[in-house]
Each structure stands twice: as C-alpha cells, then as structure tokens.
Amino acid sequence: MSHSVVNSSSEELLYAFLLAESQRGSGGERVADIKFLYCQFFQINLAPTAEDMEDLTPLFDALHDCTVYYFHDGDIVIKWAGQNEAIRAQIIKLIVKKYEHDIKRFFNPKEFFVDYDLMDGNEKLRVICAKKLNKPTKHGKELSKFFTDSNLIATLRKTIQLTKMQRNFRSKPQILIVEDQIFSQRLLTSILKEYTCYVAKSSGDALMLYMEKNPDIVFLDIDLPDVSGHSFAKLISKIDDSAYVVMVSSNHYAADVKTAQQNMAKNFIGKPYEKEAILRAVENYKKEKKSRS
C-alpha cells in the first residue's frame, strides 16, 4: 500500500490520470483494469490533516497493490488494479468500522462510497471530472471577456459587413445550428435536410463558423458548455445588422424569452421541437429577406 497527500482536487487527479491513460498506447497498466473508490470525508469534517492521516493510514496498511490519495478538501480516492472485489469490501468494512458513528449520522453507509468502476467505463468518469473541474466554464470565462471586447466587436463587425454580401447570391438559406446535445442536433438537421446546415456544439465554435460561413439563419440553444446562447445572440446582434437568430430551448421561461427579445432574436421555439415551427421560422426568414430586397 502506498499513500500520498495531493494538493489538487480528486477530480483533477482522476482527470489527469484518465487522460494520460487514454493517450497511452498499448502495454502497461490499462485503465480498464483499475478501480477507484471515492469517499467524501469532508462531509464528516475529516479534512486530511496530519493527525487524520495518522488515523487513516493504518486502515490501509494491510492492503497490497493499493494506492490511497488524500485531498485537501477531504476527499479520498483509493485506487487498485485488477478485479479484486475483496479489496473493495475490505476497505469499506475498515472505514465504516473506524468512522461508524459519523458515517451513520450523515449517510447510509452504502451511499458513502462512490464506486467509479460502476460507472460503466472510464470515459464517463473522465467526462464527469472534466465537468466538475469546470473546464468548459473556465474556457467560457475567457470567451465571455472576448465576446464583450469592444475592439474585437468592431473588427468582427467590419469583417461581416465585407463578407455578408455573399448571402444575396444564395438560392437557399444556409443554417447554423448551435446545440450541444447530439440527439437534438440530429433532429434539427433532419428537419432542415433540404438546406445546407453547419453544426456547432458551443458558442466558441459557433462564432468561428459564423465568421467563416456567413449563415443566413442561426438556430441557437441557450444552455451551451462555454458561453450561454444569450451571450452569443447578443454578440451576433452587435456585429451583424442582418443576423437572423432563432432561439431553441427547453427553458422557455418568461425571463429567457425576454432576454432573447432584447438580443434581437426573431423567434423562440421551445422543446420538444415541432417540425412545422422550425420550417415556419425558415419561411419567415425568406419573407423578411424578400421584403428587404
């Protein structure tokens, strides 16, 4: 048994570990053979101070091929190789025995342990860790600043003014779909199959596609992994006077509809999608374009 105190969070360590494993070639200890057991000692006020370490370490001394990581926020991750269920049972027994009173006070002991192996594949665990680490949001914060930078907005605006003429020569509108769920992306592209569609799963990707493709219409979800659809709509309204944005979201609360209107969105379509409503939005665009010309 080995153990170490880690300054990062449990998710950071797991994420880094899983990422490294996924990038490793064949050979070596494969992540599929490794099990993780995760305990939340912070919930019972047991941040792993030196004293706590002294208390906890002997619990694991008898276990072989096992590494225990103690984290600053009180989480403990126990990692071991192979399919040895006996180790898991032994760990649980030891911890519950030692901290029986506190655990029972706050938890059903069965719920105290999260067995990451039960999550059916380490890719899922990696995704969960990435989300917990706020990776998209961290990126989103930087992107939010970028979206409100006045110099950048001026530059994008000039670029759009120079390039948007190409929309006039299209026989059919081209459509940008901004939606992070593949299920909903596929539905929209299916309904809009007679049109050229571009798909972005985040606001950052959507901005790049918007500048590159000059879409005529944008179907835009609100809840996106980096910056919200509302912020993207606001940016687009500032850089492109001819923008035609249709919000699509299951959050059709009054506040969302109002924000969409403030950001010059032309329509707001709730989920579940209805084919007729989606196609009507495209027809409305065509009518508006015709009346402008």
Q: Which residues in this chain contact other proteins in the complex, by CB under 8 A?
A: 40, 111, 114, 119-120, 124, 127-128, 131-132, 180-184, 186-187, 190-191, 221, 223, 249-251, 271-275
When the beta carbons of 79 and 201 are compared against other proteins, the nearer one is 201
Q: How far is the CB of 216 from other proteins (least distance, A)?
A: 22
When the beta carbons of 214 and 267 are compared against other proteins, the nearer one is 267
Q: How far is the CB of 107 from other proteins (least distance, A)?
A: 9
When the beta carbons of 27 and 272 are compared against other proteins, the nearer one is 272
Phi first, then psi: what are they for 9, rounded to 5°? -90, 165
Q: How far is the CB of 223 from other proteins (least distance, A)?
A: 5
Q: How far is the CB of 179 from other proteins (least distance, A)?
A: 9
When the beta carbons of 100 and 106 are compared against other proteins, the nearer one is 106
Q: How far is the CB of 278 from other proteins (least distance, A)?
A: 8
When the beta carbons of 81 and 114 are compared against other proteins, the nearer one is 114
When the beta carbons of 156 and 227 are compared against other proteins, the nearer one is 227
Q: How far is the CB of 245 from other proteins (least distance, A)?
A: 18
DSSP characters over the chain: -EEEEESS-HHHHHHHHHHHHHH--SSS--GGGEEEEEEEGGGGT----HHHHHHHHHHHTT-SSEEEEEETTSEEEEEEESS-HHHHHHHHHHHHHHTHHHHHHHS-HHHHEEEGGGGSSHHHHHHHHHHHTTHHHHHHHHHHHHHT-HHHHHHHHHHHHHHGGGGGG-SS--EEEE-S-HHHHHHHHHHTTTS-EEEESSHHHHHHHHHHH--SEEEE-S--SSS-HHHHHHHHHHH-TT--EEEEES---HHHHHHHHHTT-SEEEESSP-HHHHHHHHHHHHHHHHHH-
